[in-house]
Amino acid sequence: MSESIVTPPVNGGTAKVSKISEAVIRFAGNSQDGIQAIGGFLARLAGRSEQEVMTFMTIPATISGGPSIFQVRIGSGEVLSAGDEADVLVAFYPHSYEEHIGALRKGGIVLYDSDHVQPNPEWEKQYRHVAVPITSRTVEAIGGTAKDKGKNIFTLGLVAKMFDLNVPKLERLISERFGGKDESVVRSAMSAFHAGYGYSLGEVLETFQFREPARKDRQQVVMTGNEALAYGLIAAGIRFGAAYPITPWSEVMEILRRELPKYGGTFVQCEDEIASACMAIGAGWAGRVAVTGSSGPGISLKGEAIGWAVMAEVPLVVCDIQRGGPATGLPTNVEQSDLNIACYGGHGDSPRVVIAPVGVEDCFYTAIEAVNIARKYSVPVIILSDQSIATRIEAMEEPKLEKLCQDLTPDLSAVADYTPYPLDGTVTPRLAAGTPILSGKYPISTGLEHDEGGHPSGAPKMHLQMTARRRRKLQTLAAQLPQPQVYGPPEGNILLLGWGSTQGPIREAVDRARAAGDSVSALNLRHLNPLPPGLENIFAGFNHVLVVEANDEGIYGYGQLAGILRARFCLPKIIGLNKTDGLTWRVGEILERVKSDVAAGLRRL
């Protein structure tokens, strides 16, 4: 519903219908109000209506209660980010109103619970205020005791009316969601929904209708990044995993613990992070690549074991759902500050693969890619997701599961002989334990430097050759990686370069800058270690390479990826664009920062 799309009528009068192509709605309340559920319903509805959807949520780190928000952006076209400014703010409490009014665009609509919120006369001049006694109307609809529980569904009804959403589809979603529970729960939810839907906003508000989206080839599925990652791992053939709970990774392990038994697999909750890495490596050693995961603090603890997997050449997939650090840091916020530990957080020279998914859908495919790289090169692969991808809900095209699902049951048929660490440069997959070797010579997997058969050797030449062997595997992989594609023209003034979850806002920033006549393109890297081929040529086409990262600018003025790229390409035109407020990059923020750098004489636009 951003500026170019709809101009709200100033006259009150009778209900009017406006066509819109997208809307950003922010719900602000407390975490126990179930506002995530409203967002979930809207996201799922959008998915079923072939609309694009992206959500953004913050959950407090406290155990129960505390302010919580959920923002949903629904569009008929491509939605790249959760939206900078909200078109509609739904505020349940005075604190929700006061803290989030700033997130609303000027002239936007604030729908507030008039049972709790007293509107500010100053703000009433800038935003359209709509008072709804949400609390008392919900009590009226479903009875006195359950008021806190039903407010979210009442509000869903309000929003459904306001945006002319498909009621039968929403009713079906509500009954699916509460279907497993007592009949009265579904009934209450329906009553709350219809009370909200029936509440007359007609006097003060028009109805907004989404334009029909372009038809999609395939059906959409709607899920969070953590769900996409977990299901991607299952599709890839992972049947064993081990981990220790930590926010925001826990959801992945909960899903795998629940789902893997259906596939004959096992997920173990371990005593600690170290044990979980070791257990996954043990299972990988036994014949089938396994997964462990965590967030930053846990990744630090897994470091020694990952080093062993590098040395012994055992496949392993490690998921790092990044949050703010160091130490306990910001457990429920986003940061991209684990890139260095992912690439270099090992003792000794321990080359490992690092891949960062760029969004929810990519989490699914990255999981499969990571598993296959780990298998092919017998190497640990770290998937660097982050809190923002993990918790947001997006609609994605349904993957072709029949084609994508892999069976990784180990082949235990006999072999004549087996050399685990050949020095002739061949990449040898791990031979599963249980395989008869007819030569009678069995391999040892070891963390000591070793010869081709795995027997300890401290010979200078051997360490030199084996170190090179481990490094060359990554060089071989690098040569096979696809060259990344520039978003926008391949030559120009500024290249905005990002990795992982910043892809959406960066691309949207490019769209806006180009619409304003600026020469800006973007590149988003998924493969971070090794880097993909062809970057030199891409960089050559631009005057400035601005590396947009959600991490600190560091002692020398550039973030973690910028540091790696500067070391790799020796280009002074690679400059950092960093922030560490624990929030996702907003489109406007990127553009402002680019412009302020220009004003400061760092570069010209």
Partner 1 sequence: MNDTAIQVPQRGNITSVPPATPPDAPRQPLTKKELSADHPTWCPGCGDFAVLALYFKLVEKRKLWHEKIATVAGIGCSSRFPYFVQAHGAHFIHGRALPFASGISLSRPDLHVFVFGGDGDAYSIGGNHLTHTARKNIKMTYVVMDNWVYGLTKKQTSPTSPLGFKSKTDGSGAIDQPINPMKQLIAAGASFVARATHTNPNHLLQMMEAAMDHDGFSVIECLSECVEFYEGAFDASNPRKGGKFETVPASHDVTDEVAAYKLADAPFPGYFGVFYKSGRPTKNALEAKINADARLKVAGKKDWEILQATFDRLK
Question: Binders of partner 1 among 443-502, rule CB under 8 A?
Answer: 443-448, 455-456, 480-482
Find the angle CA(542)-CA(543)-CA(546) to the nearest 5 degrees: 85
Distances (CA, A) of 522 to 69, 481, 518: 30, 19, 13
Q: In angstroms, rounded to a whole number, what is the distance separating the alpha carbons of residues 400 and 146?
A: 42
Which residues 377-396 are close enough to bind partner 1 by CB under 8 A?
none
Considering only residues 70, 308, 499, 558, which one is a binding residue for partner 1 as defined by CB under 8 A? 308
Q: From the CB of 214, what's the least distance to partner 1, in Å?
A: 19
Q: From the CB of 95, what's the least distance to partner 1, in Å?
A: 33
Considering only residues 19, 187, 348, 401, which one is a binding residue for partner 1 as defined by CB under 8 A? 401
- 527's CB contacts (< 8 A; 6+ apart) are 354, 355, 478, 481, 484
Nearer to partner 1, 58 or 445 (CB): 445
From 29-37, 108-116, 414-422, 538-546, give the range in contact with partner 1 by CB under 8 A: 414-422
- Give the contact letters, 164-183, x = binds to partner 1 (CB under 8 A), - = no: ------------x-------
Which residues 132-161 are close enough to bind partner 1 by CB under 8 A?
none
Helix residue ranges, H only, 199-328: 225-236, 250-259, 273-286, 296-312
Find the angle CA(330)-CA(334)-CA(340) to the nearest 5 degrees: 90
Which residues 572-601 are close enough to bind partner 1 by CB under 8 A?
none
Q: From the CB of 139, what's the least distance to partner 1, in Å?
A: 32
Q: In angstroms, rounded to a whole number, what is the distance separating the alpha carbons of residues 511 and 588?
A: 12
Nearer to partner 1, 404 or 423 (CB): 404
Contacts by residues 554-560 (CB-CB < 8 Å, ≥ 24 positions apart): 554/578, 559/336, 560/336, 560/337, 560/339, 560/340
Helix residue ranges, H only, 287-405: 296-312, 339-344, 360-377, 387-391, 401-404
Nearer to partner 1, 26 or 288 (CB): 288
- Give the contact letters, 187-226, x = binds to partner 1 (CB under 8 A), - = no: --------------------------------xxxxx---
Which residues 318-357 are close enough to bind partner 1 by CB under 8 A?
none
- Give the contact letters, 501-540, x = binds to partner 1 (CB under 8 A), - = no: -------------------------x--------------
Nearer to partner 1, 132 or 371 (CB): 371
Nearer to partner 1, 423 or 444 (CB): 444
Number of C-beta neighbours around residue 346 at 10 A: 20
Is residue 437 a contact point for partner 1 (CB under 8 A)?
yes
- 400's CB contacts (< 8 A; 6+ apart) are none
Considering only residues 25, 54, 160, 283, which one is a binding residue for partner 1 as defined by CB under 8 A? 283
Nearer to partner 1, 69 or 236 (CB): 236
CB 317 within 8 A of CB 234: no
**Among 509, 67, 590, 549, which residue's Cα sits nearest to residue 322?**
549
Q: From the CB of 30, what's the least distance to partner 1, in Å?
A: 27
Q: In angstroms, rounded to a whole number, what is the distance separating the alpha carbons of residues 392 and 43?
A: 10
Q: From the CB of 448, what's the least distance to partner 1, in Å?
A: 7
CB 155 within 8 A of CB 143: no
Q: In angstroms, rounded to a whole number, what is the distance separating the alpha carbons of residues 160 and 42?
A: 9
Considering only residues 404, 459, 479, 516, which one is a binding residue for partner 1 as defined by CB under 8 A? 404
Four-residue CA torsion sign, 300, 306, 308, 311? negative
Which residues 58-87 are close enough to bind partner 1 by CB under 8 A?
none
Q: From the CB of 177, what's the least distance to partner 1, in Å?
A: 11
Give me 46's structure tokens. Answer: 């959008």
# binding residues, partner 1 (CB under 8 A): 97
Considering only residues 281, 510, 565, 594, which one is a binding residue for partner 1 as defined by CB under 8 A? 281
